[in-house]
Amino acid sequence: MTMTLADQSALTGQDGRVTDEQPTRPKRRTFTKAYKARILAAFDALPEGSPERGALLRKERLYHSHIVHWRKQAESGTLPASTGRPHKSAESEELARLRAENKKLKANTEKLESRNEKLAGELGKTKTALDIAGKVPDVTTVTLCLR
């Protein structure tokens, strides 16, 4: 494996010794709705094409694509609180659970219907064979004999 100087410096401790610890992967940032609105207002207040706009983006560690994306969301009225995965509501979680349960029940129903058809076919064959052999016992006589 080829290691860059950045990789090597990340594996070197403060005392100069090399460690085996890998640096942790950075977490994706999330932004509140208020933060997005504040940055959009500050960005739009600056003159178009001015270096102050770039300075604002650098200071906040943002890209111009953030501004474009947030502006589109603000104009459409769908500016979310964060850029991460949306949280599921209790209703949508319940709906997902019920759909999964419904799927399992449908599969079980199909399995039972298939087995029922198979057993009905076997029963029909057995009745036919008994009719041919003439050995169909009368249910009423059997119950009378047992008493």
Residues β-bridged to residue 12: 18
96 and 78 in a single domain? The answer is no
Q: Give per-residue pLDDT as tens, 57-74.
A: 999 999 999 999 999 988
6 belongs to a structural domain? no
What are phi and psi for residue 18, nearest 5 degrees? Answer: -85, 135
In the numeric block, which tokens belong to residue 44? Answer: 């739009």
The total domain count for the chain is: 2
Please tell me whether residues 103 and 141 are part of one structural domain: yes
Give residue-wise pLDDT tens across range 4-42. 665 666 566 666 666 666 667 888 888 888 899 999 999
Q: Which one is predicted more confidently, 21 or 120? A: 120
Q: What is the pTM of this model?
A: 0.41
Residue 15 lies in a domain: no
Min mean pLDDT across 14-23, 24-33, 76-85, 135-144 is at 135-144
Query: Does 20 map to a domain?
Result: no
Which amino acid is present at 21? E
- Same domain, residue pair 102 and 141: yes
**Is residue 14 a contact partner of residue 20, using CB atoms and an 8 Å limit?**
no
pLDDT of amino acid 136: 53
102 and 78 inside one domain: no
pLDDT over 60 at 54, yes or no: yes
> How much is the pLDDT for 102?
95
Domain boundary residue among 43, 63, 83? 83
**Residue 60 is encoded by which pair of tokens?**
């906040």
Please tell me whether residues 77 and 97 are part of one structural domain. Answer: no
Residue 9, domain member (yes or no): no
What is the domain extent for residue 70?
Answer: 29-83
In the numeric block, which tokens belong to residue 64? 């111009």
